[in-house]
Structures are given as structure tokens and as C-alpha cells.
Amino acid sequence: MVQARRVDDADLMLPGEFGAATRLSPKALRLYAAQGLLVPASTDPGSGYRRYHRDQISLGRLIGWLRMLDLPLARIAALLPLNAQARQAELRAWLAAQEIELQQRRELVEALDCTSRTTAGVPTLRSRPQRKLLCRERRVHIDELDGFIADAQEHIRARLRAVGSSDDGPALVHFHGFVTRDSDGPVEVAVPFNGSVEPVDDLRIRLSPAGTDAVLPVAEADAEFPMILHVYGVLEAWIDAHRLLCVGSPVEVRPGGNGAFLDVTYPVVPSEES
């Protein structure tokens, strides 16, 4: 942060002169002064007239360049005190992060392009029996999802084995919110069981009602994020086309039926029943 200082009048410049030298508008100069990025070297206490020092021109130009990168003012404030080498290292690290984010967005756009991809499976309807579930829930980002599913499954199945209950049912992964690289949505992993189980740790028991699911089998090649979003889009479009309504969160059944790597399912009802 640059502080105002006392200087000789010969070194001072009017805001218009300083703006012309730095290509900064009057509005930008006022903003940067208010934020402490480029404080006038002198301010007349009576008139409020501001003056800039000639030595501040290079700072003003640097701020202008950094703003061209669309950096927020807070990040610019952190960069200004650095020497040139450290500042360049920070900018290269920021640029690398931007490139990763752009690649992720590109992948997402491709995944959502329903005109260029097809799915191996065909959507169908399937009856869902009432069942008791032993569950574990946590908020996770997409990079944490596989690890959480594996850990939760093992913990749940170990508990079922410990009480003599069958643990060979499929894992039901309920997505109660969006799970992306930026959004840590709530994910619930559940395994159906029979008999009686006393939950321990963060496990809980709930009853899943009977109903009907719209189901789309997924091959392993289509199961990775973000390409699996295309599968969700295909199933959702099929549900809409058949005048069905989703009445709950989507569930991935792992493994899926008939040799599928997994099934994407939505609980649905005919639209007139809603």
C-alpha cells in the first residue's frame, strides 16, 4: 500500500496529467486512491486538490497492467509490495490456475453437448422395493467423491458383517446436491440390509419407500466426471419426454444391473400424480 508523502511542488502532477501519463481514468484514480493502491502524494487540506508524484507513474502503469488481467483489487494490493521476480512468480502461478479452470470448463461444455455423444444404455423404468438402508453422509467435492464412497462402503459393510447381516447389496450413492470441483454437495452412501443393526459412529438407518425409478445403465468409460453429466442429461430428457416427474434426489447404484458399471436412477411418478 502506497502512503501519501511530502514532496517538492516541481515533482507533482495534476490528476489529469498523471492520468494521461499512466492511461488511468479519473474514475480509476479515485478508486485506487480509496482502496489504498495509489494514494496521491499530496492533498490540499482546504481545496481537496490532489497531486501525484512523478515517481508514482511506474506504479500507476503497473496497476493498469494488472487490471488488464482482470485481477481483483485485493489481489493487486498483495502483488504491489513484491519485487519483480516474486510478482512474476505469483502471476505465473495464477495463470496456471486459470488455465486449469479453463480446461475444466471446456470439459464441462463438451460433456453437456448432447448432439455429439450417445450412451451405451437405454433408459427404462424399474420398480424399487421398500428397504432399510444403513447410511453415511458427508459434503464432498468431486475430487473427494470416489474416496468417500469407497471408505463409506467399507465402513457400512464392516458394520453389517459385525452383526451377522448380509453386506453384499449394491452401494446406493444419493446425490442430495451438486457435487463439482467448486461445490461440495451432500452425498449419502447407503447399503440395503435385512434384520436389525445398531448404528455406530456417524452411521444411521433410514427406511427407503417403494416406488418407481427411471434408470440408465452406464458403462465404465462414461462414468467419470464430467462426462457422466451427459448421462444425467440424457436420462432427465427421457423423463421429461415421457411426462414423468422426479420426486427425489438422483441415486447411482454401484454396480449397476446386467453387468453395467453403475446405474443412474431418479425416483419418478407420472406427472398427473404429482
Instruction: Name the β-bridge partners of 217.
Output: 263
pLDDT band, residue 109 (cuts 50/70/90)? confident
User: What grid cell was written down for 190?
Assistant: 447407503
Please report whether residue 228 resides in a domain.
Answer: yes
Please report whether residue 17 resides in a domain.
Answer: yes
Across 74-96, average pLDDT = 94
> 153 lies in which domain range?
124-273
Please report whether residue 87 resides in a domain.
Answer: no
Q: Is residue 274 scored above 50 in pLDDT?
A: no
What total number of domains does the chain contain? 2
Please report whether residue 90 resides in a domain.
Answer: no
pLDDT band, residue 187 (cuts 50/70/90)? very high
Q: Which CATH number characterizes residue 41's domain?
A: 1.10.1660.10
pLDDT in tens, 15-33: 999 999 999 999 999 999 9
The most confident of 45-59, 109-123, 130-144, by mean pLDDT: 130-144
Of the CA atoms within 13 Å of residue 226, those in its CB half-sphere come to 15
Residue type, 268: V
Q: Is residue 1 scored above 70 in pLDDT?
A: no
pLDDT at 116: 52
Please report whether residue 100 resides in a domain.
Answer: no
CA distance 165 to 161: 6
Residues 230 and 169 in one domain: yes
pLDDT at 273: 55
Q: Are 209 and 130 in contact (CB under 8 A)?
A: yes
Please report whether residue 117 resides in a domain.
Answer: no
